[in-house]
Chains A and B, each alone.
Chain A
Amino acid sequence: MAEERLILTSDEMRRALTRIAHEIVESNKGLEGLMLVGVRRRGVPLARRIADAIASFENASVPVGALDINLYRDDLTSRPQPLVRPTEMPVGIEGKAVVLVDDVLFTGRTVRSALDALMDLGRPRIVQLAVLVDRGHHEFPIRADFVGKNVPTSLDEIVEVRVTEIDGTEEVALVERVKAAPA
């Protein structure tokens, strides 16, 4: 069994997302043209959490989209094939202030793919990035505008963000990578 350490409890996760929600509204000076786009899979429920938080203190709703980046990956021939899911945008992204939402910022490759995927849908006015956990080891000149928690990690660790809709619990854990798992 893998070693596991809790980084964020469900309450801490909720507070971090609420703070990010406030920062997004503050930095964009309101909700005008604002749109949240979650990166599938776990970015989508997180984007909804942030939109709910904004709705609770601003009394207005922000559109939430879901972006699948698998067709835009740079490692499509070097790893087992990811399942492609639909991209869903409730409104066009043209001219919008788009906040990409993902669970973990690691190498930055997902974000790079997400930017490509986004550009194929239109030309947003500005794109910002919100992540629940920034774990370091970036491999691209990409940083997050809104961060829930910075977590120093080693490459042997995995940051697991768990959300109720997919995992049945709400928490973030640091897990030791299991080496040479038998088939």
Chain B
Amino acid sequence: MMAHATEQSTVAAQTETPPRRRHVLDLDDFSRNEITALLDSAEAMHELLSRSIKKAPSLRGKVVLTLFLEPSTRTRVSFEQAGKMLSADVINISGSGSSAEKGESLLNTALTLQAMHADLIVIRSPHSGAPYFLARNLQRMGVVNAGDGRHAHPTQALLDLMTMRHHVGGLEGKRVVIVGDVLHSRVARSDVFGLHALGASVVLCGPPTLIPLDLLHKGEGDSLPDVSVEHDLDRAIEDADAVIALRIQQERQGAGMLPSMREYTRRWQVTEARYRRAKPGALLMHPGPMNEGVEIASSLAHGPGSQIEEQVTNGVAVRMALLYQLLTGGQEEAAE
């Protein structure tokens, strides 16, 4: 039986508590239950976010560092805001102006920060795998991946899942189209794992040069049956419950991976006409920053189906839920 009366809380474990983890590196090791519990808790955080006094004391005395070695507005600010609303002390470090500029290695920077008794480091790095490297080498400090190279961006995926779940209810059997430069998109990769865990089917769409076929597999021989590829956006978008447009990284155009911008726009822009082929009221999402008029028509980006601003709000709520999850709770094993 579940221990209940909150007043008698010294008693026992709540069976509904998800397993305790120290790091969040990608969503590929998250179960459906763990994601669901996190999104439930994010809904509660969303309520706190909408109050006039946006503060709760649950992370008082915890120190959260953000180390951003790549430019970012929404992710960095949203982690900072999330930490502060739960009363953690949040310290922001950027690549320029820190010892990284003097050539200090990432590991030595992180070990220094760990020696200052920080509880958690949120890292954004241009190098795929950097957060994994830190997680392996840090004994006392938790690591959250805020985007590593083209590899993973788990908190963006969680906020996408929260936004979709909020509007369409359960994601089981829902059709989600991810269109654009999937190859270079860490958002798309993490979205795919999260959507797969929640039972949605995913259609990847874009120029053949920008669709990584390995995304159809989770690991060695472990294929994702619900992920498919359709290069024609008109067909891909048919009956979609949600469309996620990715940012075209204009710097990739020179590398011969993109047709001309005009051709890209003509074939893969989410336009009014294409949007009408999706389910009525289908959600339109974008991780930002947007190139309006390239991957998405301006009228749609700010139209009624657009969830783009809500995504930003949900980003704070999801990160609050994640920080709460990582930084509270006693060790259950410790008692044994």
Chain A contact residues, CB within 8 Å of chain B: 39-42, 68-73, 75-88, 102-107, 109-111, 116-117, 120-121, 158-161, 166-167, 177, 181, 183
B51 touches A121 (CB 8 A): yes
Q: Which residue of B lies closest to A162 (CB)?
A: B4
Query: Main secondary structure on chain A at its contact with chain B?
Result: loop
**Count of inter-chain pairs, beta carbons less than 8 A:** 112
Q: CA A102 – CA B37 in complex, angstroms?
A: 24
Chain B residues with a Cβ under 8 A of chain A: 4-14, 16-17, 20, 37, 40-41, 43-48, 51, 53, 55-58, 86, 321, 324-325, 328-330, 332, 336
Q: Which residue in chain B gives the minimum CB-CB distance to A88?
A: B47
Top-6 shortest CB links A-B: A81-B329, A71-B56, A71-B58, A76-B328, A106-B7, A84-B44
Given the contacts A86-B44, A87-B44, A121-B53, A77 and B6 also touching, CB distance less than 8 Å = no
A115 and B73 CA atoms in complex are apart in Å by 36
Nearest residue (CB) in A for B329 is A81
Given contacts A71-B324, A72-B57, contact A82 B11 (CB under 8 A): no
Apart from A86-B43, A87-B44, A160-B5, 15 more pairs, CB < 8 Å: A40-B6, A42-B4, A68-B44, A80-B14, A80-B17, A81-B324, A84-B41, A84-B321, A103-B7, A104-B5, A105-B7, A107-B7, A110-B7, A111-B7, A181-B12
Q: Is the CB of A120 within 8 A of B5?
A: no
Q: Looking across the interface, which residue of chain A has its beta carbon closest to that of B10?
A: A79
Known contacts A80-B332, A87-B47, A88-B47, A110 near B6 by CB under 8 Å: yes
Complex interface: chain A residues within 8 A of B329 (CB): 76-77, 79-81
A87 to chain B: which residues have CB within 8 Å? 44, 47-48
Contact of A83 among B20, B37, B51, B57 (CB under 8 A): B37
Residue picked from B37, B44, B329, most chain A C-beta under 10 Å:
B44
